[in-house]
Each structure stands twice: as structure tokens, then as C-alpha cells.
Amino acid sequence: METRNKKRKFNDAYLFALPYFLVFFFFVVLLIFISVILSLTYYDTINFPTWVGIQNYITLFTTDSDFMQYALPTTIKYALIIGPGGYIISFFMAWVLAQISHKLRTVMAIVLYSPSLTSGVLMAVIWKVVFSGDTRGYLNYFLLNIGFINEPVQWLQDTNMIFGIMIFVGLWSSMSVGFLAMLSGILNVDKDLYEAAYVDGMKNRWQEVFYITIPSMKPQMLFGAVMAVVGTFNAAGLAVALTGSYPPPQLAGWLIVDHMNDYGFARYEMGYASAVSVVLLSMVMFFYYVSHQLFGEKKIR
């Protein structure tokens, strides 16, 4: 009887987990394996992949100047600004909002969260008008009016500006699910902790934040960090959508994701595109590792 029961329970659990993990396996895990394997081949989607070893990676890192000169540095720069930047803004906003009473806070949180309900690309229509290069563009009109500039700036054609605008759009939509998580993390910090700390001689808000708030919501901070990394991917295709030309002028704002999509879906060089995607995935893993080091629970040895 005992063993039969055990066996039944065992089967049950697998049935519950199976449908999800079937999809998960086929559309996440297997895809990563395919990426890695295809990255070692030449594959044009018509002929059977031919083995080329690490040739794709060699090409990528030595002769592909578009990748080394534009995609890689732009992505690193973008990720280093938007990742921590968006994260800090999210935390700061969450902290500020946590100190406002419930109703007003809810309204403010909805407003701050609203940009991440759409993708930057879909909202490109707005940015196109705001940063329009003629005098009718909102920003140009405003700056001309206050006398800051004398003639309209070609925001979306100037290669230096495009990156700045992407950063702006990225920060604009950086208050995502991670922001909500951190907000609710701050709200749920045990109030007694603060009280006790003040009794113990805590003096100001800085100490409050660094000694009480952040340490007691580390799990939420980590979730927020993960979401911040996820959020940086929203910028895929943003430069193209903003400038309206493919590829954007002088590859301004060209990210690794764009490079990958370009090789994959415009040139159908799937092997090479896979190599790019492996590089991208390893960067993501690196960020995951870093954020885990910062906020993860330290294992006791």
C-alpha cells in the first residue's frame, strides 16, 4: 500500500510539471543548445549546416568591424548606462513613492509604470515627433523659443544624438515590473526594524536606506536587477525605428541584438547569427552573475 501510494504521487507531480516543461524545453533550453551548436557551423537555412569550428567567432572578433566597432561597444555602453541607471532610478522612485500615502502613491506608480506597458519601438511615433529635425519638432521648438539653440538640431540624423535619445527612451521606460517589485519590497519592510535602529542610534535617512531598507529587501532587489537586464533588450530595433532607415546612419545605436537579427533574418546566415547570439547570452549570464554577487544570499560554507 505504502509503496503504491508513493509511486502514484510521483507520477502525479510529473504530470503537473510536464506541459510547462515541454514548452520550456523546446522554446528555451533547446534553443540555447541549438544556438551553441549552430554557432560552430555555416548554415544558410537551405543547405544542411556545415561544420566550421570556431571560425564564426574568429570572424566575429577579428574581421567583423561592424560588430567590433559599433555593435559591441554600443551595447556595452548602453547596458552599462541603462542597466544600473534604470535600476537606480527605479529604486529611487520606489523609495520616494513608498513615503507617500496610499491613494496618491497608486496613481503615481501607475503613471511611472505606464511606459513599460508598451515597447519603445511601438512608441517610436512619439519620439519621432518630439525629436523631429525641423522647427516643428517639440524639442527644437522649445529650445529655439528659449533661445538655447539658433537653428533646429537634426536629433535623429546626428549619430551622436541617436545614442543619447536611445538612453533617454530607455530610462523613460525603465520603471518596469522590477520597479513594482522594489516598491512593494520597500513597503513590506518591517517597521519595527526602523524603530529599533533609531533607538540604537541611527541618525538619518541615508543610514535608513543602506542599513535597513536595502538589506531587508535584497530578494526584491535581485528580482529588480534581473528585470533591469531584461528591460535593456527593449532597445532592440529602437535605432532603426527612430531614424526610420535600415541600418541607421553610420550604425548609430546599432546593438548586438540588431546585429544578430540582421545576420539571421536579413542575410540568412544562421550560423553566424547564432555565434552573435551566444556572445549576447554570455553577456546576459555575466550580468546575472554580477547581480547575484551583489544581492544574492551568500552561501554559508
* CB of 253 closer than 8 Å to CB of 77: no
- What CA–CA distances, in Å, run from 54 to 36, 40, 57, 66, 189? 11, 6, 5, 19, 50
Q: What are phi and psi of 50, to 5 degrees?
A: -110, 140
Question: Is residue 26 part of the contact set for another protein (CB under 8 A)?
Answer: yes
One character per residue 142-181, x = contact with another protein (rule: CB under 8 A): ------------------------------x--x-x--xx
Question: Is residue 24 part of the contact set for another protein (CB under 8 A)?
Answer: yes
How far is it, in rounded angstroms, from Cα 224 to Cα 229?
Answer: 9
Q: Which of 266, 285, 290, 294 binds another protein (CB under 8 A)?
A: 285
Joined grid coordinates for residue 42 = 555555416
To the nearest whole angstrom, how small is the minimum distance from the Cβ of residue 29 to another protein? 7
Question: Is residue 286 part of the contact set for another protein (CB under 8 A)?
Answer: no
Q: Is the dihedral of CA 105, 111, 116, 118 positive or negative?
A: positive
To the nearest whole angstrom, how small is the minimum distance from the Cβ of residue 241 to another protein? 7
209 to 248, contacts with another protein by CB under 8 A?
213, 217-220, 222-223, 226, 229-230, 233, 236, 241, 244
CA 186 to chain centre: 22
Strands 41-42 and 50-51: antiparallel
Cβ proximity to another protein: between 252 and 275 the closer is 275
To the nearest whole angstrom, how small is the minimum distance from the Cβ of residue 227 to another protein? 8
How far is it, in rounded angstroms, from Cα 273 to Cα 39?
Answer: 7
State the Cα torsion 220-89-115-248 to the nearest 10°: -120
To the nearest whole angstrom, how small is the minimum distance from the Cβ of residue 151 to another protein? 15
* CB of 239 closer than 8 Å to CB of 253: yes
Question: Is residue 35 part of the contact set for another protein (CB under 8 A)?
Answer: yes
Q: Which of 20, 48, 148, 206 binds another protein (CB under 8 A)?
A: 20
To the nearest whole angstrom, how small is the minimum distance from the Cβ of residue 28 to another protein? 5
89 to 128, contacts with another protein by CB under 8 A?
89, 93, 96-104, 106, 108-115, 117-119, 121-127
Question: Is residue 189 part of the contact set for another protein (CB under 8 A)?
Answer: yes
Question: Is residue 38 part of the contact set for another protein (CB under 8 A)?
Answer: yes
